[in-house]
Structure 1
Amino acid sequence: MKKTRILCVWLTLCFVLFPLTANAASLDRPYNFGFQKSKSGKLASIDYEGFKEILQRHEAIFLGDTSRKELYLTFDNGYENGYTTKILDVLKAKQVPAAFFVTGHYVKDQSELVKRMVNEGHLVGNHTWTHPDMSQISNEKIKDELDKLKQSVVSLTSQKEMKYLRPPKGTFSERSISVCKELGYTHVFWSIAYKDWDVNDQKGSGYAYKKIIDQLHPGAVILLHSISRDNTEALGKIIDSAREQGYVFQSLDSMASRNY
């Protein structure tokens, strides 16, 4: 009889504790953002990536309003490679708003460029202070990474709030994305991108142009890395061609709705 009671208690604990453990493990499962690219104007998709419901639940951005021919131009600025001034010149000449996701290294090393981004009407987003894997650090460390970057931008520029975040390398977990949301951040992923970050594998402006133009679709969030020579040289032509197709470039702040 005593053994039976012990067994019952043990089974009860298993039923109570195992779901809690399993749930915690699920929240910490790391994801690397990926997507099915657009072809022939069709929408990009994350239907088969395994994290669509997480992004929906936490109101992350992947696509804007797909009923409108709107584009959202975003840049990742981990370090400066000599091209951001030209990028800003093109955006100013074409009157195109953009979002620049910067790291602590970038803010410290390129304070004048960060000021210029804000002064010319662009958004500066949080790409964390030290560019860590967000799925592998504690909640406290996540807060520290984001707060430190935000305060450095606030003290440097006239931008006094920061509400957009791009996790380094697109890596996240449900826990990390939830913590960031509680801190007031919206995750911004992308629906147009290509391998542009390898500075030793640049293939010419024509290559960059085709890679972006071939993926255009309504509501697209475009990810470009500012360290790419190809992106810089192709940017003006990309903007002109997109406009010729009826697209309008918008700020993330004007995004009316999000689709998945």
Structure 2
Amino acid sequence: MSRRRMLLLAATVVAGGAVTAADWIYDRPQHALAGQPAPSHSSSALAGTTAKPALSPPQSPRILPPPDPRHRVRLPANGVLSRLPANDDTMALTVDDGVSSEVVRDYIHFARDTGVRLTFFLNGVYRSWTENRDELRPLVDSGQIQLGNHTWSHPDLTTVSRSRIRDELTRNDRFVKDTYGVNTAPYFRPPYGKHNTSVDAVAADLGYTVPTLWSGSLADSTVITEDYIVTMANQYFTPQMIVLGHLNHAPVTHVYGQLVDIIRARHLRTVTLNDVFLPPH
């Protein structure tokens, strides 16, 4: 039996290590903010590797399709989005940044090979978004991958001028339109999850009326082990969750098989934000 097949058939069971939503601030684990060491990880898991992502073989059933678009609902009245509406099977996996061109490419292959639907909140400053354009564009055109605005260069918007906020959002918006032919409004994810009334007002004036946060995280904004990512997926891959991941570090690309196994075992329907919400009027 091939290693890929063995990984696919392995049960995804992780004991202990439960983390609640209160343990997360912005996109880093609480232990990192407190200056404490991360949970114990094996050095071998962090070492460089050429292992390919463990994807499901083509003959395996794909995950559940997106919901009927006629069932889409209005965006929340207060504008801030961190969870999906009450539902028994939908989950949004949203992935940020794009530091690594290889990780962006592997996520594209993950979506293409499994049917998982994703929302990428990208920073156009990274070359990954031009290098992977030809492979990503068909999935954007089909709606399987949605693009959202994460600013051009990832500053803390609460610490910069209103003109800088405007420039960060408009430059990224222009890049996405020129490169992928789509409009990312009304969804923007403020870097580190930090926003205030001033940030929201500037963004809304540009059409970005929905600051999009999250309710669970893979905790992979820094390099962590593959086992820890699977632990986080076990914790947060549940209905109504908007889960935060990152397109920056390789370990997540080695556990795609385990991630899709969790999605299938829990009968989850992965969705983009456009799958769930009606466009604003």
- Same-fold call, TM cutoff 0.5: yes
Q: TM-score, structure 1 length as denominator?
A: 0.70
1:60 to 76, 80, 86: 80
Report how far residue 72 of structure 1 moved.
0.5
1:228 to 214, 232, 249: 249
Determine if the alignment matches structure 1 residue 189 to structure 2 residue 210: no
1:124-143 superposed matches below 5 A: 124-143=147-166
- Please tell me whether the aligned partners of residues 124 and 176 of structure 2 are also in contact (alpha carbons under 8 angstroms): no
Q: TM-score, structure 2 length as denominator?
A: 0.65
**Mapped partners of 1:181, 1:91: distance in 2:** 31
**Mapped partners of 1:134, 1:243: distance in 2:** 37
Equivalent pairs, count: 204
AA of the residue aligned to 2:124: G
- Please tell me whether the aligned partners of residues 94 and 245 of structure 2 are also in contact (alpha carbons under 8 angstroms): yes
**1:255 aligned partner:** 276
**Mapped partners of 1:139, 1:211: distance in 2:** 36
Q: Which structure features the higher share of helix residues?
A: 1
User: For 1:183-229, what per-residue CA distance to the aligned partner results, in whole angstroms no more than 9, with x for missing partners?
Assistant: 21121111111431223xx22x2321121112233211111111232
Determine if the alignment matches structure 1 residue 180 to structure 2 residue 200: no
**Mapped partners of 1:110, 1:215: distance in 2:** 27
**Mapped partners of 1:171, 1:128: distance in 2:** 12
Report how far residue 230 of structure 1 moved.
2.2
RMSD value, Cα? 2.5
Q: Secondary structure at the match of 1:105?
A: coil
- Please tell me whether the aligned partners of residues 84 and 242 of structure 2 are also in contact (alpha carbons under 8 angstroms): yes
> Residues 118 and 97 (structure 1 numbering): CA distance in 2 closer, same or farther, change over 3 Å?
farther
**Mapped partners of 2:85, 2:272: distance in 1:** 13
1:62-101 superposed matches below 5 A: 62-80=82-100, 82-101=102-121
**Mapped partners of 2:128, 2:107: distance in 1:** 18
- Please tell me whether the aligned partners of residues 149 and 184 of structure 2 are also in contact (alpha carbons under 8 angstroms): no
- Please tell me whether the aligned partners of residues 90 and 236 of structure 1 are also in contact (alpha carbons under 8 angstroms): no
Q: Secondary structure at the match of 2:120?
A: strand
**1:151 aligned partner:** 174
Percent of aligned pairs with the same residue?
Answer: 23
**Mapped partners of 2:89, 2:179: distance in 1:** 35
**1:15 aligned partner:** none
> Residues 113 and 255 (structure 1 numbering): CA distance in 2 closer, same or farther, change over 3 Å?
same
Q: Secondary structure at the match of 1:130?
A: coil
**Mapped partners of 2:119, 2:139: distance in 1:** 11
Q: Secondary structure at the match of 2:216?
A: coil
- Please tell me whether the aligned partners of residues 89 and 239 of structure 2 are also in contact (alpha carbons under 8 angstroms): yes
User: For 1:130-175, what per-residue CA distance to the aligned partner results, in whole angstroms no more than 9, with x for missing partners?
Assistant: 2111112222221111111111111112224543211111111122
User: Tell me, which stretches of 5 or more residues in structure 2 are unaligned?
Assistant: 1-19, 25-75
> Residues 57 and 134 (structure 1 numbering): CA distance in 2 closer, same or farther, change over 3 Å?
farther
**1:36 aligned partner:** 22
- Please tell me whether the aligned partners of residues 95 and 245 of structure 2 are also in contact (alpha carbons under 8 angstroms): yes
Q: Secondary structure at the match of 1:241?
A: helix
1:197-212 superposed matches below 5 A: 197-199=221-223, 202-203=224-225, 205-212=226-233
**Mapped partners of 2:152, 2:264: distance in 1:** 35
AA of the residue aligned to 2:245: L
**Mapped partners of 1:171, 1:224: distance in 2:** 17
User: For 1:79-130, what per-residue CA distance to the aligned partner results, in whole angstroms no more than 9, with x for missing partners?
Assistant: 1152221121111111112111111322x45403245333213112111112
